[in-house]
Structure 1
Amino acid sequence: MLQIDQLTKTFGAKTAVKAATFTVEKPAMIGIIGRSGAGKSTLLRMLNCLTEVSAGTIMFDGVDVTALRGAAKRNWQSQCAMIFQQFNLVPRMDVVSNVLHGILNRRSTLATMFNLYPDEDIHKAIAILDRLGIAEHAPKRAEALSGGQQQRVAIARALMQDPKIILADEPIASLDPMNAQVVMQSLRQIHEEDGRMVIANLHTLDTARRYCDRVIGMRDGKIVFDGTPDQLTTGVARDIYGADETFSEAATSTEIETLNAEVVKLAEVAESV
């Protein structure tokens, strides 16, 4: 389905992504991990055509995405929905209208100006919100919701596009562990029930192992690991993050039990000093 070949992005003298190459033959849930600045976000932005490619190709179902322009490019972006860390909602607008923004590119300018949508689209938006467990918040302003709820609204907006691929750029980075798990479970459910490809940039190893079928590790713009969650050992993680033997997975965990255990451990160390 998706073929990435020698994908490269340079910003002046700096190379953010270096000859990234991988193939996804069927819908899967893929996690991309690596330290800040590894090139994860730039890679996703190239896939969505938000960032221009310096070299290499992106092929999807036989179509060269890197060659798309104008309406064809906008059509691809509707098929390749993007979810951001900071939600990118309109705070003072109600939740259902934020979800309906997922189909703005299909609406006329006049309809968009007056926020006019067919009943069919409104019902679809509410059904998606219901699927994500937040339909009761449909009439509320987006700013009235918690961070986890707002991220689910962003997911609903992406689903409103009926995309073939969902790209999630650090979707849980600003969430507490409980909301992080709810959001990741929602993305996993969408992959399993809809058969959609989901590619998510993640900053925690336990999340990648728990929710993803495949994990890609990036370091300094290069793909240095591509395998199953079981193959993502602590040693491999150290190599991906460029860390030494003091590297602790618990420090990046989103699991509540792990976090509690780490707090207890730190408290015990403090008492012994």
Structure 2
Amino acid sequence: MLRIEQLTKKFGSNTAVDAATIEVDRPMMIGIIGRSGAGKSTLLRMLNRLTDHTSGSVTFEGRDVTALRGADKRAWQADCAMIFQQFNLVPRMDVVSNVLHGTLNRRSTLATMFNLFPTEDIHRAIDILDRLGIADHAPKRAEALSGGQQQRVAIARALMQDPKIILADEPIASLDPMNAQIVMDALRRIHEEDGRTVIANLHTLDTARRYCDRVIGMLHGRIVFDGRPEQLTTGAARDIYGADASFSEEATSTQLDAVGRASNVATVPA
């Protein structure tokens, strides 16, 4: 399905992603973990073609994604939807219109200018919102929703593209533990029910173990771990984060029973 081979991105003398190689032969949910600056976001942005690569390649179903230009590149970005940490919604626009923006790549310039949407697309957008438990909020402005609700709107917008792959860049980093679990539950259901590949950058070990079929660890731009969740031991995590023996997994927990004992933000070296 998806093959990333020796993918590299350099910014001047700094190598953000260093010869990353990943092969995905079937739909799965993959978590990418690592400290801040490890190259996780840059890797996803290269997959989506938001950032150009320096060398290497990405192929999907035999198509060289890194060589796509113009309309072919935009078509790939529809097939490979991106969800961001900060939601990237239009705050003063209603929820259903934000979701409908997932269809912009296949609409005419005139329809886009006047915000004209086919009735069937509106019905589909509401159905997706209902699937995510937020259809009641469809007429509200996006800015009126909580962070967790806004992230589900962003997921709905991605689903409007009918993508084959969903990339989620730190989708729960700014959410409280309860909303984090709701969002991750939604992404997991999308993978299982739709058969879509989901690749998510995550900052907590328990989340990666609980939701992902495969975990990839990055350090200084390189992939240093690639295995099943049960192989992600505390020792392996220390190596991924470059941490010493004082590293505590509890400090990275998003479990509700850990609230009050630990923050949901990892306390590993920045």
Q: Same fold (TM over 0.5)?
A: yes
SS at match of 1:52: coil
How far does residue 214 in structure 1 lie from its aligned partner after superposition? 0.2
Please give the alpha-carbon distance, in whole angstroms, between the structure 2 residues aligned to 1:71 and 1:178.
Answer: 40
Please give the alpha-carbon distance, in whole angstroms, between the structure 1 residues aligned to 2:34 and 2:259.
Answer: 20
Please give the alpha-carbon distance, in whole angstroms, between the structure 1 residues aligned to 2:226 and 2:258.
Answer: 25
Cα–Cα, structure 1 residues 116 and 4, in superposed 2: closer, same or farther, change >3 Å?
A: same
Q: Which amino acid aligns with 2:158?
A: A
Contact in 2 for aligned 1:250/1:259 (Cα 8 Å): no
How far does residue 260 in structure 1 lie from its aligned partner after superposition? 3.6
1:242 maps to: 242
Please give the alpha-carbon distance, in whole angstroms, between the structure 2 residues aligned to 1:53 and 1:16.
Answer: 10
1:45 maps to: 45
Q: Which amino acid aligns with 2:137?
A: H
- Please identify which structure carries the higher helix content: 1
Contact in 1 for aligned 2:30/2:213 (Cα 8 Å): yes
Answer yes or no: is 1:193 the counterpart of 2:193: yes
SS at match of 1:66: helix
1:139 maps to: 139
2:115 maps to: 115
Please give the alpha-carbon distance, in whole angstroms, between the structure 2 residues aligned to 1:170 and 1:84.
Answer: 7
How far does residue 22 in structure 1 lie from its aligned partner after superposition? 1.1
Q: How many residues align?
A: 263
Q: Which amino acid aligns with 2:45?
A: R
Contact in 2 for aligned 1:125/1:156 (Cα 8 Å): yes
Answer yes or no: is 1:126 the counterpart of 2:126: yes
Answer yes or no: is 1:71 the counterpart of 2:71: yes
2:182 maps to: 182
Please give the alpha-carbon distance, in whole angstroms, between the structure 2 residues aligned to 1:105 and 1:196.
Answer: 20
Please give the alpha-carbon distance, in whole angstroms, between the structure 2 residues aligned to 1:23 and 1:215.
Answer: 13
Q: What do you get for the CA RMSD once the two structures are aligned?
A: 0.8
Comparing 250-259 with 235-244, greater Cα deviation is found at 250-259
Q: Which amino acid aligns with 2:68?
A: L
SS at match of 1:247: coil
1:205 maps to: 205
Q: Which amino acid aligns with 1:78?
A: A
Please give the alpha-carbon distance, in whole angstroms, between the structure 2 residues aligned to 1:142 and 1:93.
Answer: 6
Answer yes or no: is 1:15 the counterpart of 2:15: yes
Contact in 1 for aligned 2:252/2:262 (Cα 8 Å): no
Q: Which amino acid aligns with 1:236?
A: A
2:268 maps to: none
Q: Which has the larger radius of gyration?
A: 1
SS at match of 1:7: strand
SS at match of 2:18: strand
2:267 maps to: none
Answer yes or no: is 1:62 the counterpart of 2:62: yes
Please give the alpha-carbon distance, in whole angstroms, between the structure 2 residues aligned to 1:262 and 1:115.
Answer: 45
Query: Where does structure 1 lack aligned partners over 5 or more consecutive residues?
Result: 264-273
1:35 maps to: 35
How far does residue 128 in structure 1 lie from its aligned partner after superposition? 0.1
Contact in 1 for aligned 2:99/2:160 (Cα 8 Å): yes
How far does residue 262 in structure 1 lie from its aligned partner after superposition? 4.2
How far does residue 105 in structure 1 lie from its aligned partner after superposition? 1.2
How far does residue 252 in structure 1 lie from its aligned partner after superposition? 1.0
Query: Where does structure 2 lack aligned partners over 5 or more consecutive residues?
Result: 264-270
Structure 1 segments of 4+ aligned residues over 4 angstroms from their partners: none
1:214 maps to: 214
Please give the alpha-carbon distance, in whole angstroms, between the structure 2 residues aligned to 1:165 and 1:31.
Answer: 13
- Residues 16-53 of structure 1, C-alpha deviation per residue, up to 9 Å, x if partnerless? 00000010000000000000000000000000000001
Please give the alpha-carbon distance, in whole angstroms, between the structure 2 residues aligned to 1:22 and 1:72.
Answer: 23
Please give the alpha-carbon distance, in whole angstroms, between the structure 1 residues aligned to 2:108 and 2:77.
Answer: 18
* Identical columns (%): 79
SS at match of 1:180: helix
How far does residue 259 in structure 1 lie from its aligned partner after superposition? 3.0
2:5 maps to: 5
1:230 maps to: 230
Answer yes or no: is 1:255 the counterpart of 2:255: yes
Contact in 1 for aligned 2:167/2:199 (Cα 8 Å): yes
SS at match of 2:36: coil
Please give the alpha-carbon distance, in whole angstroms, between the structure 2 residues aligned to 1:50 and 1:219.
Answer: 22
Q: Which amino acid aligns with 1:258?
A: A
Q: Which amino acid aligns with 2:8?
A: T
